[in-house]
Amino acid sequence: MSEAKRALLRRLFNAAVAAAAPERCMPACLPAPPKGRTIVVGAGKGAAAMARAVEDHWRGPLEGLVVTRYGHGVPTSRIEVVEAAHPVPDAAGCAAAQRVLDSVRGLSDDDLVLCLISGGGSALLALPIEGVTLDDKRAVTGALLRSGATIHEINAVRKHLSAIKGGRLAAAAYPARVMTVVISDVPGDDLSVIASGPTVPDPSTFADARAVLAKYRITPPPSVAQHLMAAREESPKPGDPRLARAEARLAATPAGALKAAAAAARDAGYEPVILGDAIEGEARLVAADQAARALKVAPGTALISGGETTVTVKGKGRGGRNAEFALGLALALNGRAGIHAIACDTDGIDGTEDNAGALVTPDTLKRAAGLGLDAAANLAENDAYGFFAALGDLVVTGPTRTNVNDFRAILIDAD
């Protein structure tokens, strides 16, 4: 029975990912070709697949450049694909971001900038503001990722250390029309947060960025501290005339992915309950809450949820937020019979590891004990990866080339 449940959980995850596949969700969002040139730019884990979808469905000439994570590229013929580092930016991403910015300058109002954005674009489109080095920005990004800060907080800082994010790309393209097609990986689908909103107005401020660093007690490099304190050249705000010809369309969202998984669960005979597509919080605490819910619902229920949890790293182990959720869930369920679960990142990469996430079965803790593993100790050490690797319960998909954030499903059957 357990193997059948594992297979079903993988099918639910696959349904969620398929709903956000660029070749499926992009065509309906493409605008009509302009009178002038069409420049395609973009960034994110799905950017290369999005670029190929544009090539497959576009009538007319195309040129441009998109940036994606190492290993996430696909063959394209007219749009160049550059690979760079994620989640901490590198020189390749910095150089590509400069080329993207340069490519949209000097355009006319007959031209179109088609911007393709998906999750991961913040790190991949890294172009530090003058006076801040890439190493300094890497240091701040790394500290924020370890702090447990939300993606909204992290990107408020990133936007104020960038020459291209927070609406600056669209401002540089003016007076050309800018159409941004987005695959959302952010709770609430806030366009100003997805990839740090390079083509949309930025409501956050320098004061917000300083407050985030203070909240998490992060002492930034001197150049970063000085830039944030000087607060010169705020990012374009709502109503900025340079963004008057910029618009955006959501091609895929976490909610859409969860609905697809819910339909698959219903087809398998379960009653799906979607707990939310924008769940945030510490991964192990969210796991404890969902375990409590699972213990109260009727057999035949599938609890489905998305969002973006966080991990405050205190140990020295390996593992992303989805594996940590899975380990926290296993501990909270304490071997309860009849409950199986999956937690995965829809991009196929859980944090910085090679797995998408992990599976939980009723005998997870029993099998672990048989191998001499202490689940609580692994959790304390933030070593969920090592725990599930030993059990053979990591979910490894490779890059999916899309990203609608975390996916979690818990199947509740009779004991």
Per residue in 346-390, pLDDT (tens digit) is 999 998 899 999 999 999 999 999 999 999 999 999 999 999 999
Reading the block at residue 163, the tokens are 């020459």
Domain ranges of the chain: 2-16+255-412, 21-252
**32 class by beta-carbon count within 10 Å (0-12 exposed, 13-18 middle, 19+ buried):** exposed
**What's the mean pLDDT in 278-291?**
96
Q: End-to-end CA distance of the chain, in Å?
A: 12
pLDDT over 90 (residue 95): yes
Confidence label for 1 from pLDDT (cuts 50, 70 and 90): low
The domain defined by 2-16+255-412 folds into glycerate kinase, domain 1 (3.40.1480)
| pTM (two decimals) | 0.92
**What's the mean pLDDT in 301-321?**
93
Rounded (10°) angle between helices 134-147 and 222-230: 90
**What's the mean pLDDT in 63-90?**
96
Beta-sheet pairing, 394-395 with 301-310: unpaired
Confidence label for 188 from pLDDT (cuts 50, 70 and 90): confident
Q: What are phi and psi of 329, to 5 degrees?
A: -65, -45
Per residue in 33-53, pLDDT (tens digit) is 999 999 999 999 999 999 999
Per residue in 96-114, pLDDT (tens digit) is 999 999 999 999 999 999 9
Q: How many CB atoms lie within 10 A of CB 195?
A: 35
Q: Is 3.40.50.10180 the CATH number for 21-252? A: yes
DSSP lists the bridge partners of residue 310 as 282
* Mean residue pLDDT across the chain: 96
Percent of the chain beyond pLDDT 90? 93
**What's the mean pLDDT in 273-301?**
97
Q: pLDDT value at position 146?
A: 87
pLDDT over 80 (residue 326): yes
